[in-house]
């Protein structure tokens, strides 16, 4: 991984950038339009949104205004829990596609494993994939048992599992399972550890002449994890891309691995009520 445009090959051959730009909690309208515009100008080519974020229209506007050609972009969105089920997923996809102003979505994800619903949702997503409306389909917040359940009678293996992942929640067992199944792991909230005072991050930031955030993002990349930091600040958006000009030593990667506390900031996929 030498450059922001470097990609990983998903299990169906589609190329996905290792570094993407997330827009969770970025307000619809000028805030998200400006953030995505800054990201695209900086060089990001992967944008991650979701129906639940309420900002797909703004993301679409920024993409349209950017002048970046469609074939250079990788756009992800997600079906929300209240829209899960076969017919409702198909309708939700059409709504997301209209808001984004795109004919084809690069990656469509099930946002959370809603019990009794996600298998029907997956059937709808397999149809969208077969019909060419999406280039790849995947899941988000799925544990090993959710994936095993889904794989029992699915025709398409998820291309991606987007999960909460950072040095305090390293999810090694789940990552190993996904690797065995050919599912690319993607980290949401990758920089949460930056909100904790972790002396090791300060030490490594000083050693490599980088920020704590850059150290975490590099740790993701060296573990083969796609990562999607978010920010609305131009300087931070740019800073988060400067992770391709250094390499953490194996020893330092292992020391970061040792920070794991299985500590979540978001909901547990086995126990959520939204």
**Active-site residue list:** 53
Residue 235 has phi, psi (to 5 degrees) of -65, -40
Could you give the 3-state DSSP secondary structure of residue 184? strand
Compute CA distances 6 → 44, 72, 179, 222, whole Å.
10, 12, 19, 13
Compute CA distances 230 → 42, 86, 171, 243, whole Å.
13, 31, 21, 15
Closest by CA to 78, choosing from 147, 136, 12, is 136
């Amino acid at each position: 991984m030498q450059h922001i445009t470097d990609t990983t090959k998903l299990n169906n051959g589609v190329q996905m950038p290792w570094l993407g730009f997330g827009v969770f909690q970025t307000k619809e309208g000028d805030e998200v339009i400006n953030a995505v515009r800054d990201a695209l100008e900086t060089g990001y080519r992967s944008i991650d949104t979701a129906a639940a974020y309420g900002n797909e229209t703004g993301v679409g506007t920024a993409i349209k205004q950017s002048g970046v050609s469609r074939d250079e972009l990788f756009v992800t969105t997600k079906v929300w829990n209240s829209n899960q089920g076969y017919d409702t997923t198909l309708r939700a996809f059409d709504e997301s596609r209209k808001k984004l102003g795109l004919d084809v979505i690069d990656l469509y994800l099930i946002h959370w494993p809603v019990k009794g619903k996600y298998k029907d949702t997956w059937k709808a997503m397999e149809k969208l994939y077969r019909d060419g409306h999406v280039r790849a389909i995947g899941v988000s917040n799925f544990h090993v048992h959710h994936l095993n359940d889904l794989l029992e009678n699915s025709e398409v293996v998820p291309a991606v599992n987007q999960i909460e992942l950072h040095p305090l929640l390293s999810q090694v067992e789940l990552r190993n399972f996904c690797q065995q199944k050919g599912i690319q792991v993607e980290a949401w909230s990758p920089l949460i550890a930056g909100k904790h005072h972790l002396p090791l991050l300060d030490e490594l930031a000083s050693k490599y002449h980088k920020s704590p955030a850059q150290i975490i993002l590099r740790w993701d990349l060296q573990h083969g994890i796609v990562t999607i930091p978010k920010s609305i600040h131009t300087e931070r958006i740019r800073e988060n891309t400067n992770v391709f000009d250094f390499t953490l030593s194996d020893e330092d990667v292992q020391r970061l691995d040792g920070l794991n506390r299985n500590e979540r900031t978001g909901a547990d996929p086995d126990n959520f009520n939204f």
